[in-house]
Structure 1
Amino acid sequence: MTILKCSAVKCMYNENELCSRGDIEITGANARHAEDTTCGSFRDRNSSGSAMNCTAQHCGCEKINIDCKAQECTYNDHCKCTASAINVSGCHATECCDTKCDTFSCKC
């Protein structure tokens, strides 16, 4: 599993910059730059409601499984992230396209 730090604090799964979802998907099949990637698992805390929000239970995880669709990323091995740690950014994100995997490194 990969260590995840996430600045998308408006995501319903974000708990102190950790993720309470259990796993996430990084999208951007044809990505050549970090800006071409997104966290496909992002859900806006305000528009999604709080029923699935684990904030009150403090269940954010530091290590997480990452399904990576960024085929050209150095850390992608058969759609699994092999980086020891990644950063997902999006401190002002209100939808998936406002996030990105800062750790993306193109092998192209």
Structure 2
Amino acid sequence: MTKLDCTVTNCFYNDDKSCCKGDIMVEGEEARESGSTCCGSFVEKKSSTAKNSVSQPKKDIEVGCHACHCVHNEDCRCMADKIGIAGTNACQCQETECITFACK
């Protein structure tokens, strides 16, 4: 499990910089820098969207990864001890990024 710090407060799954989804997927198959990655699990939080009261925010989370050129990617899984997902005020997944990405 990877410790996740997520500053994408406009995401439906974000609760106090933690994720309530349970697992996420980092996209960016051809990425060579963090700005070319994104959280593929991002869902914009809208004022009319009700939050699932069953899900609890977690810091330890499974992180799938399609960023093939990242040093932390092992068999499409993030093996970093801790990662950060950034994208304050994001409205779509392309406005987020994995700030822990490091090119091989």
- Length-normalised TM-score, structure 2: 0.94
- Correspondence 1:2-21 to 2 at 5 A: 2-21=2-21
Identity score, percent? 38
Separation in structure 2 between the aligned mates of residue 38 and residue 48 of structure 1, nearest angstrom: 24
Q: Which residue of 2 aligns with 1:81?
A: 78
Counterpart in 2 of 1:59? Answer: 56
Q: Distance in 1 between matches of 2:2 and 2:10?
A: 22
**8 Å contact kept, 2:24–2:40:** yes
2:93 matched to 1:96? yes
72, 79, 95: which is aligned to 2:69? Answer: 72
Aligned residue for 2:64, secondary structure, equals strand
Amino acid at match of 1:34: S
Structure 1 length as normaliser, TM-score?
0.91
> Per the alignment, do residues 47 and 25 of structure 1 end up closer, same or farther by CA in structure 2, a change over 3 Å counting?
farther
User: Does the residue aligned with 2:29 lie in a helix, a strand or coil?
Assistant: coil
Residues 28-73 of structure 1 show CA distances to partners (whole Å, capped at 9, x for unaligned) of: 00000000000000000107822xx24x567110000001000000
Q: Which whole-Å CA distance do the structure 1 matches of 2:75 and 2:54 have between them?
A: 33
| Structure 2 residues without counterparts, runs of 5 or longer | none
Runs of 4+ in 1 over 6 A off after TM superposition: none
Which of the pair is proportionally richer in helix?
1
CA distance in 2 between counterparts of 1:90 and 1:38 reads: 9
Alpha-carbon RMSD = 1.6
